[in-house]
Structure 1
Amino acid sequence: MIQLLVMAKAPVPGRVKTRLCPPCTPAEAAAVAAAALADTLDAAKDLSAVRRVLVLDGDHPAPSGWVRVPQRGDGLGERLAKAFADTALPGVPSLLIGMDTPQVTPELLDTAAAALLRDGAVLGPADDGGWWALGLSDPAGAAVLRNVPMSTAATGERTVAELHRRGVRPVMLPALRDVDTAADAVAVAARCRPGQRFPAIVASLSSLAGHAVTAGSRA
């Protein structure tokens, strides 16, 4: 059994998904973020886990059965490291994902959990050079994230390098595209399952309609 951590920011206009503005308004961007978070939590609800934790920046309710823990730290790397440290359970591996890949499936999370239990560490690369998932059997290994510049095209590569220096060799998971820009939102919506909130909200926003042409620029 593993512990699942979802790293999230409360969907407050003006504080979340600001790279969607323009073309979105801050309220529209917050609605996109809220849908992404809801779909991510839905995908995780049936995962066999000792505990599910919403590691939150801001104020937003956690689903029934989830624990809510505040994010701590000045930069994203430090916040990620402290998310692992603050939630650590003795002898239980932790799998951390973000809220920016609502196309993640329960099956992919099951695969990630199984690989984490088998191999001790996993990393899910993102198409933009970052990563969407990190699983560690020893949460102390996440301390290396303080040395990794976040939100760059080399974030994933640097994360792997820092883990290797600590003797941790993560198994790579399938790559996913995360939602930063309008083109990302349209492309990710096309990869979601029927009935999800994220594709519905993206389809409802006229501000995103013109970005479908460029959505394939980063598959």
Structure 2
Amino acid sequence: MSTLIVIAKTPVPGRVKTRLTPPFTPQEAAALAEAALADTLRAARETDVEHRLLVLDGVPRTAWHRDFTVVPQVPGTLDRRLAAAFAQAALRDPGPVLLVGMDTPQITPDLLRSCLPGAEDAEHTEDTEGTDAAADATLGPADDGGFWCLGFREPRGLDLEAHLVGVPMSTDHTGRDQLGRLRAAGLSVRLAPTLRDVDTVEDADHVAALVPESRFGVRFRDLRQRLDVPAGTGPRP
């Protein structure tokens, strides 16, 4: 049994993707966030897991309940909300759990399956401990120094708050700090591929070029053309 968590905000103008404004309006930034969330939920739906949780800050929309259990985020800082999301999953099932956000619409079901802690197919990952043994945790670094995914093989037996609460979020060393916290607790950690979050227009241009036919790619291309926003460099070599 395994669980996939998507932690997200309802795309309300002025509350999401604020670093895209300007050049986009708050309404346009929210439309990009909604497209990114739709792509993320689609990838999660197509991933073969037993349970899917959408841990949401905001009012859910009817379509989001399809194939997901929708639960509200707890109040507090992001580190506490992450710990609570894992605890919600562990209450439902003691098996492996993987958490992702809504900022990486380029993720695929194959990537998500391979990132589940304990996954036999390690094609997309590298074992940081230098062994093929199943790792206790998975961490997916982000280009900006954060992380795009985090997972635990047996979350019910862990002190989740001790592993998460107090790690500084939204910094250029969040991923490194989180990795250090897990290793200091004696957990073996497998690194997933590094991905780029969508925070800025340059990020959005890069990710849209990777997945041009996704809802995010189509929406970004349409808005950029209509607003004459200069294109960035596209995907890195």
TM-score by length of 2: 0.85
Tell me what 2:193 maps to: 174
Contact 2:4 2:49 in 1 (8 A): yes
Q: Which of residues 100, 105, 108 is equivalent to 2:103?
A: 100
Does the C-alpha gap of structure 1 residues 210 and 193 become closer, same or farther in structure 2, counting only changes over 3 Å?
A: closer
Q: Within 1, Cα distance between the matches of 2:185 and 2:212?
A: 38
Query: Could you say what the CA RMSD is over the residues aligned between the two structures, in angstroms?
Result: 1.9
Displacement of 1:150 in angstroms is 0.5
Runs of 4+ in structure 1 over 6 Å off: none
SS of the residue 1:164 aligns to: helix
Gaps of 5+ in 1: none
TM-score by length of 1: 0.92
SS of the residue 2:232 aligns to: coil
Q: Within 2, Cα distance between the matches of 1:188 and 1:131?
A: 16
Contact 2:98 2:149 in 1 (8 A): yes
Q: Once the two structures are aligned, what percentage of the paired residues are identical?
A: 48
Displacement of 1:44 in angstroms is 1.3
Verify: 1:39 aligned to 2:58, yes or no. Answer: no
Tell me what 2:164 maps to: 145
Displacement of 1:169 in angstroms is 2.0
Counterpart of 1:98, as a letter, is G
Tell me what 1:57 maps to: 57
Displacement of 1:87 in angstroms is 2.5
Counterpart of 1:74, as a letter, is G
Tell me what 2:48 maps to: 48
Does the C-alpha gap of structure 1 residues 49 and 208 become closer, same or farther in structure 2, counting only changes over 3 Å?
A: farther
Counterpart of 2:136, as a letter, is G
Does the C-alpha gap of structure 1 residues 141 and 47 become closer, same or farther in structure 2, counting only changes over 3 Å?
A: farther
Contact 2:117 2:152 in 1 (8 A): no
Tell me what 2:215 maps to: 197
Gaps of 5+ in 2: 121-133
Counterpart of 2:144, as a letter, is D
SS of the residue 2:50 aligns to: strand
Q: Within 1, Cα distance between the matches of 2:112 and 2:212?
A: 15
Which is worse superposed, 97-106 or 160-169?
160-169
Tell me what 1:69 maps to: 71
Does the C-alpha gap of structure 1 residues 158 and 99 become closer, same or farther in structure 2, counting only changes over 3 Å?
A: same
Verify: 1:128 aligned to 2:131, yes or no. Answer: no
Does the C-alpha gap of structure 1 residues 52 and 171 become closer, same or farther in structure 2, counting only changes over 3 Å?
A: same
Contact 1:182 1:208 in 2 (8 A): no
Count of equivalent residues: 217
Tell me what 2:94 maps to: 91
Tell me what 1:158 maps to: 177
Does the C-alpha gap of structure 1 residues 190 and 142 become closer, same or farther in structure 2, counting only changes over 3 Å?
A: farther
Counterpart of 1:68, as a letter, is V
Q: Could you list the per-position Cα deviations for residues 127-171 of structure 1 after superposition, in whole angstroms to 9, with x for gaps in the alignment?
A: 110000001023335322211111111000000000111111210
SS of the residue 1:23 aligns to: coil
Displacement of 1:29 in angstroms is 0.5
Which is worse superposed, 139-148 or 177-186?
139-148
Tell me what 1:78 maps to: 80
Does the C-alpha gap of structure 1 residues 135 and 4 become closer, same or farther in structure 2, counting only changes over 3 Å?
A: same
Q: Could you list the per-position Cα deviations for residues 41-97 of structure 1 after superposition, in whole angstroms to 9, with x for gaps in the alignment?
A: 111112121210000000122241210011013111111111111221342111000
Tell me what 1:119 maps to: 135
SS of the residue 1:22 aligns to: coil
SS of the residue 2:170 aligns to: coil
